[in-house]
Structure 1
Amino acid sequence: MTAATQAPATVPPTTVPGSTAHTDGNWAPIQTRSERPRSYDPSAFERPSGREVNWKHTPIDRIDALLRDETAPSGVIDVTVSAPDEVEQLTLRVGDAPRGEFFTPEDLPSAIAWKHEELAPLLRIPQDVELDAPVLIDLVGTGGLAHAHVVLEAMPNSRGTVVLRHSGTAAHAQNIEILVRDGAHLTVVSVQQWDDDAVHAASHQARVDRDATLRHFVVSFGGAVVRVNPSVELSGAGAQGQLYGLSYSDAGQHLESQVYLFHKGPDTRGDVLYKGALQGVGARSVWIGDVLIGPEAVGTDSYEANRNLVLTDGARAESIPNLEIETGDIRGAGHASATGRFDDEQLFYLQSRGISEDEARRLVVVGFLSDIVQRLGIPALEEELHGAIERELREIPPASLEGAAQ
């Protein structure tokens, strides 16, 4: 075709936020987690409008501070680390390994946190070391904007537990990069007990190598808006990922987790279970669970579930499980979601044993949430969380419980 007879150039269609181009020239929403754009540059992400699939359940106006590409003042978060002597503690600039070995931001707050964290702390469990006590990282907000990128690395055949505890108040954009090397077993627990006005957006990205295991917990009780999104890639043969979550949302609170589990290697195992309780007008929880079983992930066994217990009128839980399978040679895969009120049969059974109605309701809630707490394997933290659940329950008027049961 000569230049004189060439067809006129096609004008590309207008890009729709949170969309991707199709071969027919139209735009369609990005539906799967694996398709989301990633970049270390905040300018690569548009400010979310609330129409994007990964933002449409989040109150954008309430996290405005975390969407601004600006330098945060130092000292907003007081950090105290208590670790066994074997744990190596270093700081990493951008370009220093292993910072960025696996982590790539997939939303605007994460990219901003990457850009503005000049020195990222690294906590490393050396090869073949088994810690006899957990690593405790206490983060206390003193007010204002804060960015962070933290790298947790478990070297081959090591074993250990890392607990991050958040309290006080801040507008905190946080990245947690987790590297679990061959044969290592790592437990990571992130506990959010912020003050009522805190805003927290966290991106946890983990890679689990051959015959390694990651146990990952998200426990959210405090904060105005808390959005903790774990993304775990089971990359090595025989890798295992156990992702558990517990939330308790009060009036006006928004507690959210978008979970992504990618079975990349063969013979991988995945178990995802998040549970939440809600009470009070405007209490809201959001759980989105995405599991992708890749074409090379033969022999995979994976299951994800989300359960929510609505304790009073005016509370709302959103639960969206997604499962994508790209190979037919798997052992099993499934997902489930349930949101409801009290089980009348459970209450009747307890009352028939002479237990009062109020006590029966308390036992049902405690039993429902304790399933996650007991998986921690950290007695002191389990006791503390049981106490937090009991305190939350004491704030529910009996009349509200009666309404929730109907």
Structure 2
Amino acid sequence: MTESVLAPVVVKEHSHGGGAPVVDVRSRADSVRSFDPADFPRPSGREEDWRFTPLDTLGGLLDGEPSAHRLSVSSELPDGVELRTVGADDPFLRSVPAPVDRVSAFAATRSEGALVVSVPKEAQLDEPAVVRLTGTGSAADVVWGHVVVEVGAFAKATVVLEHDGAARYGAEVSVVVGDGASLELVSVQGWDDGSVHAAHHGVRLGRDARISSTQVTLGGELVRVVETVEYTGPGGDAELRGLYFADSGQHQEHRLFVDHSQPNCRSRVTYKGALQGESAHTVWVGDVLIRAEAGGTDTYELNRNLILTDGARADSVPNLEIETGEIEGAGHASATGRFDDEQLFYLQARGIPEDEARRLVVQGFFVDVLQKITVPAVRERLIAAIEAELAGGRA
């Protein structure tokens, strides 16, 4: 669906995931951003930003409990990429995008500094920079982290953040892409059973800067990632993609807010998820704000969910807020459907065994997201993980 507008329009809380649509007249322009956790009251679950989240599972992350330990860090870095730590008092950490909720504000203040991945200006990286963050304790251990990815002007880089092990992890991830630079960012949430991951990824794009960001969520009891994009000059381009696979008892929540405040910028959002098993639950909320000064904006968001078994639930809520009619285009599409038995029958009728047919259908569902990941090792590992999810979910 493409939407053309001649006057300021607000489309809020248009739910495709079940229940009656809700009209919410609040503007995302009024959203709070702060490094101070006190600016974010403890949620009760009735707030729009928290109504889908099982708050009890977050535990000490909402109360700012101190870290039990730090995540173990390992890396593979191309020449020229620097990995360093900075202290909590470094003024650099107040120049990055601010947290947008209580957990991320605690992460910024409780982390005692940040891990910084720096790509120098004009660098042209042929290999990805890979940083692995591993929880080495139990899934009940509260751990805080702040990661900064900074890409200098006119550089081109790929950065992969991998999360695994066990933890109750609260994180702030700050991404700053300089003028004319290009970043492919892949974040993989592959936690052990029982783990919790609640994070904010704050992206800031310079003039004519580009980001291709892919969120991959496969493991953990609860994963909640909020990704925001802000533009600081015209010509910015954001491609935001996501792939998630929820199994029995898992809650996976992805929230996005693209704030078009500069003219002639572009954004595309494509998220796809599969669900199987009793009480598997996914949430996708896509917010796009086109401010009055952002003429020439071109934006579109898409969410698709594939339900493989009974007992699973997917909520999909696209929101579009437009303050000017001088745009190139704006729209959204969202759908949730069950596994197509006709496709399965078609493949089986041609001699393909049922398990192989199911695998082909699900891989075909995800293929457009997987193909955009340019790191072969990551892409192949994700395909194997999806196959393992399918095999593990079968009776």
- TM-score normalised by length of structure 1: 0.87
Match of 1:66 among 28, 53, 61: 61
Equivalent in the alignment of 1:17? none
Equivalent in the alignment of 1:131? 125
In the alignment, structure 1 residue 167 sits paired with structure 2 residue 161: no
Give the Cα–Cα distance (whole angstroms) in 1 for the partners of residues 126 and 155 of structure 2: 12
2:289 aligned counterpart, secondary structure: strand
Equivalent in the alignment of 2:343? 346
Cα displacement (A) at 1:340: 0.5
Does structure 1 retain, via aligned residues, the 8 Å contact 2:65–2:142?
Answer: no
Structure 1 segment 286-297 matched on structure 2, within 5 A: 286-297=283-294
1:222 aligned counterpart, secondary structure: coil
Letter in 1 for 2:47: E
Does structure 2 retain, via aligned residues, the 8 Å contact 1:193–1:222?
Answer: yes
Does structure 2 retain, via aligned residues, the 8 Å contact 1:235–1:263?
Answer: no
Does structure 2 retain, via aligned residues, the 8 Å contact 1:370–1:386?
Answer: no
Letter in 2 for 1:363: L
Equivalent in the alignment of 2:192? 195
Point out where structure 2 has 5 or more consecutive residues left out of the alignment.
1-22
Residue deviations 1:111-155 (CA, integer Å, cap 9, x gap): 111111222122111011011211111111022111111111111
Match of 1:53 among 25, 37, 48: 48
Give the Cα–Cα distance (whole angstroms) in 2 for the partners of residues 90 and 167 of structure 1: 21
Residue deviations 1:367-394 (CA, integer Å, cap 9, x gap): 1012211111110111100001111111
Give the Cα–Cα distance (whole angstroms) in 1 for the partners of residues 327 and 370 of structure 2: 30
Cα displacement (A) at 1:101: 1.6
Q: Which has the higher contact order (CA 8 A, sep 6+)?
A: 2
Structure 1 segment 190-269 matched on structure 2, within 5 A: 190-269=187-266
Give the Cα–Cα distance (whole angstroms) in 2 for the partners of residues 220 and 332 of structure 1: 30
Match of 2:183 among 157, 181, 186: 186
Letter in 1 for 2:128: P
Does structure 2 retain, via aligned residues, the 8 Å contact 1:30–1:53?
Answer: no
Give the Cα–Cα distance (whole angstroms) in 2 for the partners of residues 303 and 348 of structure 1: 34
Equivalent in the alignment of 2:107? 113
Cα displacement (A) at 1:300: 1.2
- Change beyond 3 A, Cα 1:338–1:122: same
Point out where structure 1 has 5 or more consecutive residues left out of the alignment.
1-27, 399-406
Residue deviations 1:16-58 (CA, integer Å, cap 9, x gap): xxxxxxxxxxxx9784433222222222222111001000000
Cα displacement (A) at 1:94: 4.0
Does structure 1 retain, via aligned residues, the 8 Å contact 2:182–2:211?
Answer: yes
When structure 1 is superposed on structure 2, of 351-360 and 191-200 the one drifting more is 351-360
Equivalent in the alignment of 1:375? 372
Does structure 2 retain, via aligned residues, the 8 Å contact 1:38–1:105?
Answer: yes
Equivalent in the alignment of 2:386? 389
Does structure 2 retain, via aligned residues, the 8 Å contact 1:302–1:334?
Answer: yes
Larger radius of gyration: 1
- Change beyond 3 A, Cα 1:396–1:93: closer
Letter in 2 for 1:175: E
When structure 1 is superposed on structure 2, of 65-74 and 134-143 the one drifting more is 65-74
Give the Cα–Cα distance (whole angstroms) in 1 for the partners of residues 89 and 383 of structure 2: 42
Give the Cα–Cα distance (whole angstroms) in 1 for the partners of residues 66 and 353 of structure 2: 55
Match of 1:142 among 119, 122, 136: 136
When structure 1 is superposed on structure 2, of 50-59 and 368-377 the one drifting more is 368-377
Match of 2:78 among 65, 84, 88: 84
Match of 1:33 among 13, 24, 28: 28
Match of 2:332 among 335, 351, 357: 335
- Change beyond 3 A, Cα 1:170–1:396: closer
Cα displacement (A) at 1:276: 0.3
Does structure 2 retain, via aligned residues, the 8 Å contact 1:124–1:154?
Answer: yes
Report % sequence identity.
49
- Change beyond 3 A, Cα 1:70–1:347: closer
Does structure 1 retain, via aligned residues, the 8 Å contact 2:247–2:393?
Answer: no
Give the Cα–Cα distance (whole angstroms) in 1 for the partners of residues 67 and 24 of structure 2: 33
Cα displacement (A) at 1:295: 1.4
Give the Cα–Cα distance (whole angstroms) in 2 for the partners of residues 242 and 116 of structure 1: 31
Letter in 1 for 2:166: T
Letter in 1 for 2:35: Y
Does structure 1 retain, via aligned residues, the 8 Å contact 2:304–2:336?
Answer: yes
Give the Cα–Cα distance (whole angstroms) in 1 for the partners of residues 102 and 72 of structure 2: 24
Give the Cα–Cα distance (whole angstroms) in 2 for the partners of residues 161 and 370 of structure 1: 20
1:309 aligned counterpart, secondary structure: strand
Q: What is the number of residues matched between the two proteins?
A: 370
Give the Cα–Cα distance (whole angstroms) in 2 for the partners of residues 347 and 158 of structure 1: 45
CA RMSD of aligned residues (A): 1.7
Residue deviations 1:253-308 (CA, integer Å, cap 9, x gap): 00111011112211111110000000000101000000111112111111001000
- TM-score normalised by length of structure 2: 0.90
